[in-house]
Amino acid sequence: MGRFKRQFFALGGLIVFELDQRIAEQLTQVSLGSSVQVRMSSSNAFAVTASTMVPLMQMFEMGGVYISASRGAVEIIQAFEAIGVDVSGIHFLDLVSSGVLGGTDVPYSNITFVDSPIMLESIMLRTLYTLRTVNNQRNFVFLDSVNALAIYNDDRMLAEYLHTFINTFRQREVLSVILNVPDQTPPLVLANLDTYCTDLVDRGQVVLL
């Protein structure tokens, strides 16, 4: 995948950035059933997200489930639309919008809502159910993000859940991609990700412009 510029709107301004080709190159080394920890910073979160998602969809022709714990799914979909990326083939599991008045009244059919980020078991069951309904031969589960889940869940419980999460999809040969902002993620949770994930994409200190 070559480097190419995309434009998207954020905070009312037009930002131009290049998708990070190094992330695409790293992803060529992973296999179905792998678990990839993607570290980012608050300042480059969408650039890293897009640089990971786009090659999975376009280079490897994968589909799957995007679990949005940091922002509502509509905001994420519209950010991709603004840079010309079609994500209509991806199903979004929105953990945020049910708590917002009118948040579930959306114009997209590829969004399912979970009432609260605390409902970890429900998140897993909804994801597994959705994967059974898709037609793609190769799928991923994209968790955005661990530090958002850490706001609502006990550190040890979340660490144990992520272990189960990774192993569940590994057994089903589904690629799991787990995003986090390291300085906003509890040390116990981060240590478990380091132990259980098979691959690491580290953009936690790199600002993509």
Question: Would you state the pLDDT for residue 16?
Answer: 57
DSSP state of 71: S
* Amino acid present at 57: M
Supply the CATH classification number for the domain 5-202: 3.40.50.300
Over residues 112-159, the pLDDT tens digits come to: 999 989 999 999 999 999 999 988 999 999 999 999 999 999 999 999
pLDDT of residue 8 exceeding 60, the answer is no
**Neighbouring C-alpha atoms within 13 Å toward the C-beta of 14:** 3
Question: Would you state the pLDDT for residue 11?
Answer: 41
DSSP, residue by residue, 137-179: SSEEEEEE-HHHHHHHS-HHHHHHHHHHHHHHHHHTT-EEEEE
Output the CA torsion sign for 29, 35, 37, 38.
positive
pLDDT of residue 64 exceeding 70, the answer is yes
Mean pLDDT of the chain: 89
Over residues 100-124, the pLDDT tens digits come to: 766 788 999 999 999 989 999 999 9
* Amino acid present at 135: N
Average pLDDT for residues 66-71, to the nearest whole number?
Answer: 96
Does the predicted TM-score (pTM) go above 0.85?
yes
Over residues 26-35, the pLDDT tens digits come to: 999 999 999 9
More confident residue, 163 or 208: 163
Question: Would you state the pLDDT for residue 52?
Answer: 97
CA 184/CA 190 separation, integer angstroms: 10
pLDDT of residue 99 exceeding 60, the answer is yes
pLDDT category at 205 given cuts 50, 70, 90 is low
The domain segmentation of the chain, as residue ranges, is 5-202
Average pLDDT for residues 48-60, to the nearest whole number?
Answer: 95
